[in-house]
Structures are given as C-alpha cells and as structure tokens.
Amino acid sequence: MSSPASNVARLILAAMAAGVIVAAIALPAVGGAGAIFVSASQELSIKPEALKEPPLAERTTVVDADGNEIAQFYEQYRESVTLDQVATIMKTAVVSIEDYRFYEHGAIDLEGTLRALAKNAASGGIAQGGSSITQQYVKQVLLNSATTDKERNAALEASYARKLKELRHALAMEEKYTKDQILEKYLNIAYFGDRANGVEAAAKRFFGVSASELTLSQAATLAGAVQNPNATDPHLGKAQRKRLLSRRNVVLDRMAELKKITPEEAAEAKAKPLGYVGTPLPGNCEASPYPYFCIYVRDEMLRNPIFGKTAEARSQFLTRGGLEIRTTLNPKMQKAADNAIKKFVHPSDKPVASEALLEPGTGKIKAMAASRKYGSDRHKGEMSYNVVADVAHGGGVGFQAGSTFKTFTLLTALDQGMKVKDGFMVGSGYRAADYSTFKNCKGGNIGDPTHTVTNDEGRGGFKTLATGTWDSVNTFFMQLEQKVGLCNVITTAKKLGIKRSDGRNLLEFSTFTLGTNEMDPVTVANAYAALGARGKYCAPMAITSIKDRTGKVTKYKPKCRQAIDSEVADAAASILSGVFTKGTMSKVGGIGRPAAGKTGTTDNQATAWFAGFTPNLAGAVSIGDPRGSQEHGLNNITIGGRPYASVFGASIPGPIWKNTMINALKGTAAMNFTPVNNARFGGCSSCAPVRPTPERDTGPSAVDDADVTTEDHEGDPDIGWQ
C-alpha cells in the first residue's frame, strides 16, 4: 500500500504533469504538509540532477569591411541580454504572473502547488499552474536542445517521468545559480510568439523598443504572452490579438493584487490599446542591402568544410552560433558598382547586367551588383538566384564569356615563348584542316573541318599577339589556339580558377578560346585579378574573420599561389592595356590610370562582357537575358532607355566597368603595371616575310608595336564565335 507521503507527492506530480504552471519546489524542513513532502521526495528519490545547457540559438550578424551590419542569419530570432538590460517593470510583471513567490521559495513551491491543486479541483480543470520559473526554464532547455521529434515529444509529454526529471534538474539549477541568474536565463529562453525568442527580440518585434525601454502596458503584454504564445500570437490575426489583450489585463490585475502597482496604474494601463507594431524581422539575404554578396557569404558558410565537418554542423554554426562574420565587402566600391549599373541598365529590362569586383593579390570580393532586385516576386522582375556568382554560391548556369577567354590563349602563347610582335596571316574565315587539328585534354580529336569560324566585316591580314588581341580577331585566335594547343589553353584557364558557373566540367571544344563556356562575373573577374597581381592567383574570398559568442576571433587569410609566370602576366597586361587605346574599347576610353582588359561578345550578340583590371582592383561585367540568352539575344533592343541595334562588349559592359572603376578607385593612388621584359618578349622571333606597311604607334601602351598595323573600328568590332 502506498504511504500518505508518496500519495501527496504523486498528486503534486500529477497536477504538474497535467499542465500546472506556477511555483517551484520549496522544501520546508518541518511541519505538516512540508514534512510529508520531504518524506515523499525521499521515497521518490528526488535528488538534484545536473542539466546540460547547450548555448542558446543566437542570431549571427554579417558586417562589411568597415563593420557595418549588412545581414543576419538565425534559426531562432533571439538577442540575449543581461538582467540589468531588462526594464524592472518587465521583471516584476513576469514574476507576478508566472511565479510570484519566486524569490522566496526553493526548487519546489509547495504552498503554491497545493493552492493550484485546490483551485483545479474546485474548477474541474486547470485554473492555476504549478511549475516554477526554474522548472519552466528547465523545460525550455530540454525542448531547445532536442534534435529529434522523439526528444521534442519527450520534453513536452504529460507524465510523471518528465516531471520528476524536471524537478531533479530544477533542484540542481537552484543550487548552481542565484535567483537573478535563473530569471535572466528564463527571460532569454522564453518564447513569446510572433517568432520572437527571448525578451529582447519580443520587445523589438511587438513594440519596436528594447527590453530596457518597456512600459507597464508593454511589459504586462509580454508577461501574458509566455503562457500560451501560439494562441496569443498577434501576428496571426484579430482573434489572437484579442486574447493577448485579455491576457495582458489579467497580468495587470494580478500585479495590482500583489501591490506591485496601484489600482489606478492598472486601470490606466488597461485603457491603452495593445500597441502591437509587428516590426519586420531582420535578417536573410532578401532583406540585405547587398543581397547577392549576402548569398555568397551564406553559401560559403554552408558549403565550406572549414566552417564545420557536416552540412548540419555548418548550418547550426551559421544560424545558431551568435557569430559576427566580418566580410570583404567595400561599401564605397559596392556603391560605385550599383550606380554604374543603374546608369546603363534598368531593373525592368529583360537582360540583366551583373558585376563583381575583386582585389588582385588577395582575392577579396569587394562588390557584387546586378541590375535587378533580388527576391521571389517574378511579377516585379526580381531575381531568385545569385546572377553574379556560380551555382556553389547560389548562382545559376551563367552566360557564355565570349572573347574574354582569348586572354587565356594569349597567356599560353607568351608562356611558350612567343613575342608581342609574333603573328601570322589570317583570313576572314577559319576551318580546321582535320578532326585531329584540335585535341582535348584526353587526347581525343575534336577538330571540326565542317565548320567555319568567321570575323566581323571579313577582317584578315597579318596579325600579331598585340593587334590580334586589340582587334579581337576570331580567326587569329583559332589559329593561335591550334599553334599552342587547346589543352594547354584550357590548363592556363584552370590555373586562373576558371570553371563553369553550373559546376560541370569545362567544355573542351575547339572554340574554347572564343568563350563558349558559361561563366559568372566573380570567376572571370578573379582570373583577370591574377594578371593584376602579376600571375598570383588567389581564391575568391568573402570572409575575413568570425567572432563567436564568447568574443573569440578566428581570422582567415587569402589562399594564393603563383599560377603563371609573373613576366608572362606583365606582357599580357601590357598588350591588354592597348584594348583601351587601339582596340575594341578605344571609343569608350580608359579610366585615367593604368588599366587593361578585354571585351567579350558571343555569337549573334547573345551575351556581352567586359573584364578588366588595374594593380588595385579587377572587375567583370556581363549582360544577358536570363530567360535564355540564345533565344533572347541582344539585337534590336532597348536597354536602359537606349536603343541598340546590337550590344557588344564595349556597348554596355565596357562603359559600366569604366564608370565603376573610376568611382571605386577615387582616392586610391594609381599604380603602374610592371614594365614588359623586352629582352624576353620584345620584337618577334620569326617575323613574317610579307609585312604590311607599318603604322606609327602614338598610343600610351607599354607595348612597342611600331612595326605592325592597327585598324580603325566602327562601333564595337569585338565579335564572338559562330
């Protein structure tokens, strides 16, 4: 037969398991019911049991290079605060309604629990709770640390076993912490509804103020919400707001009954409207002023093993870790890119312009911009993916890079010993002599003797590395690629970080040099940045340091390697600088400081590009129609309010790049490129026996090309592949 003490204890536990909410376990040592409970607790072995308290899920903030917040990530919207950062009236309100004897009892408030039992018995239901604030904290810890549905259900089930477990943990909490510490923990872990976890988040979400600024009416509202936050969630509708208002008034009455406030103060507060404002939740990339960069950072955190061994670990690190992620984004440069794009392309235009800026020698991403707003509303023309980056960082399939890829063939030729004046006669068309003319990197024959690559306006003649690059002559680069070897060109591109935007293997066709692979601006800009760093390639980098919730800072350094010979990069930079003075950008002009670059246009103007660099900064701009660039080309089209018969690399991307760089580099001292080693690259190794009449070189290019001919250009002569 059960003893009276055991029956009392079980009765108390049954009431608690049924949903009773107040009180906390005082263990009076002597007298009546207290003595019975002591005996009962001994029979039931209610002994303190340590509670594992994992860190609360905290929001992570992302800041730019200057420390300005640009985004937030969180699994639960929470901002933990210390107790002295909570208004006194808020502390009073929650203790009054949840556990008014909190500062007087121990782990179990027997008086409060028995009172609850009596009221519940009289009402035939649950009229008053019996769980103390300490017990409620324990329950929330168990619920928050649950990782499976089974664990979550166990933390909520109405059973003796759960209540006993809570009581044991509560005893340990009361031994370990002061009352103020327990209250602080409770206020930070409690859920108030409307996706607000903790009192600070709730104060901001409900009323647009900090917890330290809460008024009596606001404090009573939040104190009332914790009992049943889903039923009183003001975000859900009028019925929930009505219940919350009623619950607020219950709290105010209880505070007056306990003489924590006067009846007049209660009446005045009850006369006020609910005052809910529903401050928009911060965070996520859609809310960021720099959404495309934000996506890049987010996906870097979720994919890079240095931030966690598993996908789940990385996700929890980002959304629960309470981190401060400092990034490479430069607000001034970002603004320059945003403004330049807006100047030439409207958000409502079907084609989308996008741009990435990176720092040579570090790979730091300084800006990522696009003409369209990021979002999921297609009716507003918003982009739902990261058009500036590859698929690994939230991007899509990208756009064919066009003649920007000719630079990799140029680099390969220089690396193999060709000089800036070396060249050959080319015609207006090029056709491989045989299938074996080109071989992929597996040794397969991929030449196409049935297909002819042509030039714009039939230009041919003797072309050198310099003039062929300036004029962007397709037939010259096909012949040059044949000479140096397709696989060697592909290898050069890979050394500079070139990979397809969609993550698939590079297509190894003979037209590789004409840019038939789909790319993204970050990847192309970073390849050109390596030339600005004299052949030093650095992986794209968006995160410089992470500070965890304890204040520990982990710094991340650039990952760099010497990808190509520095003197080869110098020679290529010298040739590419002539694109502004003698080539396809001559009518657009330079930026008032040493710069180099290459236009790119694909077949039938499906897409257009410009990629360029200085020793300080590199950038790439693309424009194409995300509905399908081949089906929706850039011919007979209006973009940015201007009509274009055809869009080339120097029509829109080039001017965007120029405008961006001028403003992004304001206040930055200009740097010169390293002069070409003329002993290695000057002159020609096997000059052609038949030479056209030379044209005097009066431009500022570092390449001395007095012995070769340049051509005048109508519009943008940079053509793509056919």
What are the beta bridge partners of residue 642? 639
pLDDT of residue 292 exceeding 90: yes
pLDDT for the residue numbered 130:
54
pLDDT for the residue numbered 118:
56
* Helices and strands: H and E segment counts in the chain: 23, 23
DSSP 391-449: GGGT--S-EE-GGGGHHHHHHHHHHTT--TT-EEEE-SEE--SSGGGSB-TT--B---T
Candidates 1.10.3810.10, 1.10.3720.10, 3.20.20.60, 2.40.160.40; CATH matching 4-56+78-270:
1.10.3810.10
The pLDDT mean for the chain works out to: 86
What are the beta bridge partners of residue 454? 429
Confidence of residue 710 (pLDDT cuts 50, 70, 90): very low
Query: Vertex 372, ends 368 and 376: CA angle to 5°?
Result: 105
Tens digit of each residue's pLDDT (9 = 90 or more) over 324-380 = 999 999 999 999 999 999 999 999 999 999 999 999 999 999 999 999 999 877 788
> pTM to 2 decimals?
0.80
| Under 8 Å between Cβ of 213 and 203 | yes
pLDDT of residue 223 exceeding 50: yes
Q: How far is CA 169 from CA 24, 46, 151, 156, 477, in A?
A: 12, 10, 16, 15, 75
On the CB side of 301, how many CA atoms lie within 13 Å of its CA?
A: 29
pLDDT of residue 21 exceeding 50: no
pLDDT of residue 606 exceeding 50: yes
Which of the residue ranges 85-99, 123-137, 596-610, 619-633 would you say has the lowest mean pLDDT? 123-137
| Under 8 Å between Cβ of 386 and 292 | yes
Query: Locate tokens 């991307």: which residue?
Result: 653
pLDDT for the residue numbered 564:
97
pLDDT for the residue numbered 8:
46
pLDDT of residue 709 exceeding 70: no
pLDDT for the residue numbered 546:
98
pLDDT of residue 144 exceeding 90: no
| Under 8 Å between Cβ of 91 and 183 | yes
Residue type, 145: S
What are the beta bridge partners of residue 638? 643
pLDDT of residue 675 exceeding 60: yes
Q: What is the dihedral of CA 223, 226, 229, 235, to 10 degrees?
A: 30
Tens digit of each residue's pLDDT (9 = 90 or more) over 246-268 = 999 999 999 999 999 999 999 99
pLDDT of residue 7 exceeding 60: no
As a whole number of angstroms, the longest Cα–Cα distance in the chain is: 119
Cα–Cα distance for residue pair 647/693, rounded to 1 Å: 33
Burial category of 706 from C-beta neighbours within 10 Å (exposed 0-12, middle 13-18, buried 19 and up): exposed
| Under 8 Å between Cβ of 262 and 100 | no
Percent of the chain with pLDDT over 70: 83
For residues 302-330, average pLDDT: 95
pLDDT for the residue numbered 107:
62
Q: Domain locations in the chain?
A: 4-56+78-270
Tens digit of each residue's pLDDT (9 = 90 or more) over 72-99 = 999 888 999 999 999 999 999 999 999 9
Which are the contacts of 593, defined by CB distance < 8 A and separation ≥ 6? 614, 665, 670, 671
Total number of residues shown for the chain: 722
Tens digit of each residue's pLDDT (9 = 90 or more) over 492-523 = 999 999 999 999 999 999 999 999 999 999 99
Residue type, 280: P
Which of the residue ranges 3-12, 162-171, 431-440, 644-653 would you say has the lowest mean pLDDT? 3-12
pLDDT for the residue numbered 628:
85
| Under 8 Å between Cβ of 329 and 290 | yes
Which are the contacts of 293, defined by CB distance < 8 A and separation ≥ 6? 70, 327, 329, 334, 365, 367, 368, 542
| Under 8 Å between Cβ of 169 and 134 | no
pLDDT for the residue numbered 122:
55
pLDDT for the residue numbered 28:
38
pLDDT of residue 626 exceeding 80: yes
pLDDT of residue 649 exceeding 60: yes
Q: Which of 337, 327, 328, 332 is nearest to 368 (CA)?
A: 337
Long-range (24+ apart) CB contacts under 8 A made by 623-629 are 623/345, 623/351, 623/352, 623/353, 623/354, 623/399, 623/647, 623/652, 623/653, 624/351, 624/352, 624/399, 625/350, 625/351, 625/352, 626/352, 626/383, 626/387, 626/396, 627/350, 629/399, 629/400, 629/602
176 SS3 class: helix
Q: What is the dihedral of CA 704, 709, 711, 712, to 10 degrees?
A: 70
Q: Which of 230, 263, 265 is nearest to 247 (CA)?
A: 230
- The tokens for 12 are 């108390």
Q: Which of 114, 90, 89, 97 is nearest to 32 (CA)?
A: 114
* Cα-to-chain-centroid distance, residue 7: 58
Q: First and final CA of the chain: distance in angstroms?
A: 95
Cα–Cα distance for residue pair 221/245, rounded to 1 Å: 7
| Under 8 Å between Cβ of 616 and 676 | no
Dihedral of CA 626/630/634/635: which sign?
A: negative
Confidence of residue 4 (pLDDT cuts 50, 70, 90): very low
pLDDT of residue 704 exceeding 80: no
Residue type, 456: D
Other CB atoms within 10 Å distance of the CB of residue 589: 12
Q: At what angle do helices 133-145 and 179-189 cross, to 10 degrees?
A: 50
For residues 5-10, average pLDDT: 47
pLDDT of residue 569 exceeding 90: yes
pLDDT of residue 403 exceeding 60: yes
| Phi and psi, residue 47, nearest 5° | -115, 150
Q: Which of 107, 102, 82 is nearest to 92 (CA)?
A: 102
687 SS3 class: coil
